[in-house]
Chain A
Amino acid sequence: MQMSQTSPGNLTAADVLDAYFLEARARLIELAATLDRIDRAAGSQAVQSDARLKFIHDSLQTLQRTQPGRAKAVQELYSLK
């Protein structure tokens, strides 16, 4: 099944940005704080190679893609192959 590129309801892109910007901002700050927390914790070096941490960093790279389908791509990163 092909992913549909229809609009979210009758919202314009500006509407979507207005509605979701603060939530996205809060989640990014929360993620930044989570990564800082891992770094501050005892044994942080030992988890640098943990696959879950790599997923997070790979996800952040995926967010920088310019084409749609980022959520699907991130889900696939976390999926068993």
Chain B
Amino acid sequence: MFFIDPHIHMVSRTMADYEMLALSGVVAVSEPAFWAGFDRSPAGFVDYFRQLTEFEPRRAAQFGIQHYSWICLNPKEAEDLGKAREVLAEIPKFLSCPSVLGIGEIGLNKNTPNEAKVFQQHVQIAIDAASQGPPGSKHALILIHTPHLEDKLKGTRMILEMLRDFGSAIDPARVLIDHVEEHTIELVKDAGYWAGMTIYPISKATPARAVDMIEMYGPQRLCVNAAADWGISDPLNTHRTMLEAQRRGHQLPELLQVFHNNPAEFFGQNPKFTVKPLTVQPAA
């Protein structure tokens, strides 16, 4: 079984994790820009973007894994509008790097007015970068973080409203809204967006609940990730979810769709992403 991990923070992980991912069938990872656990200076962001676009692809390549990334100022650091302005000014030049898929993970954390403002500014950057996509693309691909715990439902609604306010400038097929759970997945999928489920034991979904959601809402436009980072997290939670689905009798074509082909299809809307969807065919 081959996997694409659609959301993982490899800057926080060791080479041993890259090896483990490769051994467990991961052929590509996508790494959104995120919070480092402390607030950085604008110069610190530039270094971080270089780490994502120059250093991590080289580390991953040592294990045959393709490394792709997303660039943004994460919502946890969006309160300081002055800093946000400086960091956002750096983003367009990184969008043209060969392994950058788009803008992300933008979104909301505490649903504040400043976070909302910076979210909208990021979306505008994605729209302004439309020319980097294939002909006819309305905007660069967008990967969106939804808040944790009690802020999630309200934050998801706010994000959907803000995207709606951009009108026809936004193509839902080019936006993935991540960390959905039982109370938000329907809102996201009904609006035509891609959805991501994150497998964390305490604060997000578990393998069993994620498979429930695949069954209830269908595997279409749905991705599963471990979002492993510097916190208590496990890069193999994506695999555990696949095992749970397999245990319930889901067949290989469906597993391949969720854990490989769906991310390949979404990311593949940016021609930089070269891993193609696979099909299963019995030997003659």
Contacts and interface: CB of A to CB of B under 8 A. Distances in A.
B158 interface: no
B202 A22 contact: yes
Contacts of B149: 22, 25
B201 interface: yes
B208 A30 contact: yes
Nearest to B148: A22
B23 interface: no
Interface in A27-52: 29-30, 33-34, 36-37, 40
A18 interface: no
Nearest to A22: B202
B208 A34 contact: yes
Task: Among B201, B208, B209, B216, find the residue whose CB has the most chain A CB atoms closer than 10 A.
Answer: B209
A36 B212 contact: yes
Interface string B203-247: 100101100100110000000000000000000000000000000
B272 to A, nearest CB: 37
Interface SS majority for chain A: helix
A26 interface: yes
Given A40-B215, A40-B216, A30 B209 contact: yes
A33 B182 contact: yes
A37 B206 CA distance: 14
A37 B202 contact: no
B202 A23 contact: yes
Contact of A22 (B203, B212, B216): B203
Interchain residue pairs A-B with the least CB separation, the first 6 = A33-B209, A26-B202, A22-B202, A33-B212, A37-B212, A23-B202
Interface of B: 149, 182, 201-203, 206, 208-209, 212, 215-216
16 contacts: A22-B149, A22-B202, A22-B203, A23-B202, A25-B149, A26-B202, A29-B209, A30-B206, A30-B209, A33-B206, A33-B212, A34-B208, A36-B212, A37-B208, A40-B215, A40-B216
